[in-house]
Amino acid sequence: MARAATTADAFNAVAELRRRQILDLLAGGERAVNDLVELLGLAQPQVSKHLRVLREVGLVDVRDEGRQRMYRLNGRPLKIIHDWVSTFEQTWSRRFDQLDVVLEELKDTEAKDEN
Amino acid sequence: MARAATTADAFNAVAELRRRQILDLLAGGERAVNDLVELLGLAQPQVSKHLRVLREVGLVDVRDEGRQRMYRLNGRPLKIIHDWVSTFEQTWSRRFDQLDVVLEELKDTEAKDEN
DNA sequence: TTGACATATTCCGTTATCGGAATACGATTC
DNA sequence: GAATCGTATTCCGATAACGGAATATGTCAA
């Protein structure tokens, strides 16, 4: 086995900077592929490939509009990420940093007491 | 060029299920490597390798304790992910789903009006 | 129906990743 | 200081990701 398919889930899909940028752009509303190509400064095939990955994990929806394809953000799969990361929110909050310090000091004190 | 190193940032580090599991375990407190090996049911080298990635993006800190190495969670790098994902929070909320429906209906109405 | 435009797919080469097995290293313990 | 324990690193082999270039598909316009 080599590695998890990028297409497997939102975590993998979003690990790529370009795909995050695409989602950022789509947050501003529906966009045709060539719009994205221009805004990102990428080659068109690369953009289409990234869009495919995003489509496969459900992060974007497509709609045909004449010869264009309009892509639209669908953030729902991001909720899984949000939920998971939120679990750790305390970890980076100021107050818990302080708590860590207190706990460390406490540990040191105990260590001394054992002598 | 092939692909960005997994080791590059928190997004990539966390894209791997095993590494997320490790962080989940460390959320419960410091752990020695063999603890994690047992809890995860993985081979020890694999665990050490995942820990290395996590270390390199700053998601865990290490402390030497005799012949053991105690790993400890450091969630700070997750804040970047949290911040980014939070940008899209409205996208999956119930109220905005409803708004989407309304907008769709409106679009349909307009389409009919054009006939 | 031919040509131009918009997008998707395929093919290619390079590189990173992952798991597994073997091995190296470093700190204890005997 | 030799055996042992805990962990890290290295060396595979397989896979798949990525960018680039070429090409295919599909739609509109003349």
Question: Are A65 and A97 found together in one domain?
Answer: no
Does A27 fall in a domain?
yes
Instruction: Enumerate residues 6+ apart whose C-beta is below 8 A from B93.
Output: none
Question: Are B59 and B103 found together in one domain?
Answer: no
Q: Is B25 on the interface with A (CB under 8 A)?
A: no
Contact yes or no for B92 and A85 at CB 8 A: no
With the C-alpha atoms ordered A12, A18, A20, A25, is the resulting torsion angle positive or negative? negative
Q: Is the pLDDT of residue A27 over 90?
A: yes
Question: Are B83 and B60 found together in one domain?
Answer: no
Question: Are B27 and B71 found together in one domain?
Answer: yes
Q: For A45-67, what is the mean pLDDT?
A: 96
A50 touches strand D (CB under 7 A): yes
User: Which residues 27-46 in chain A show a CB within 8 A of chain B?
Assistant: 27
What whole-number distance in Å separates Cα of residue A10 and Cα of residue A85? 13
Instruction: Enumerate residues 6+ apart whose C-beta is below 8 A from B64.
Output: B70
> In terms of DSSP H, where are the helices of B1-115?
10-13, 17-26, 33-40, 44-56, 78-86, 94-113
Q: Is B84 on the interface with A (CB under 8 A)?
A: yes
- State the residue range of the domain holding A88: 79-113
A42 touches strand D (CB under 7 A): yes
Amino acid B93: pLDDT? 78
As a whole number, the mean pLDDT across chain A is: 86
Q: Decide: helix, strand or coil at residue B97.
A: helix
Question: Are A59 and A105 found together in one domain?
Answer: no
What residues form DSSP beta bridges with B65?
B68
Q: Does residue B7 or residue A91 have the better pLDDT?
A: A91
Taking a C-beta distance cutoff of 8 angstroms, is the pair A72, A26 a contact?
Answer: yes
Question: What is the side-by-side strand order in the sheet with A60-65?
Answer: A31-32, A68-73, A60-65
Question: Are B37 and B19 found together in one domain?
Answer: yes
Amino acid A94: pLDDT? 63
What whole-number distance in Å separates Cα of residue A33 and Cα of residue B85? 23
Taking a C-beta distance cutoff of 8 angstroms, is the pair B37, B50 a contact?
Answer: no
Question: Are A15 and A55 found together in one domain?
Answer: yes
Does B35 fall in a domain?
yes
Q: Does residue A93 or residue A15 have the better pLDDT?
A: A15
Query: How many angstroms separate the CA of residue A82 from the nearest CA in chain B?
Result: 6
Does A51 fall in a domain?
yes
Q: How many domains does chain B have?
A: 2
| CATH number of the domain within which A58 lies | 1.10.10.10
Burial class of residue B94 (count of CB atoms within 10 Å of its CB; 0-12, 13-18, 19+): exposed
Question: Are B68 and B83 found together in one domain?
Answer: no
Does A49 fall in a domain?
yes
Q: Decide: helix, strand or coil at residue B88.
A: coil
> Cα angle at B81 between B75 and B87, to 5 degrees?
135
Instruction: Enumerate residues 6+ apart whose C-beta is below 8 A from A25.
Output: A31, A35, A36, A39, A40
Does A102 fall in a domain?
yes
Predicted confidence (pLDDT) per residue in B21-60, tens digit: 999 999 999 999 999 999 999 999 999 999 999 999 999 9
Question: Are A106 and A64 found together in one domain?
Answer: no
Q: Is the pLDDT of residue A108 over 90?
A: no
Q: Decide: helix, strand or coil at residue B63.
A: strand
Question: Are B93 and B66 found together in one domain?
Answer: no
Does B68 fall in a domain?
yes
Q: Is the pLDDT of residue B89 over 90?
A: yes
Does B84 fall in a domain?
yes
Q: Is A70 on the interface with B (CB under 8 A)?
A: no
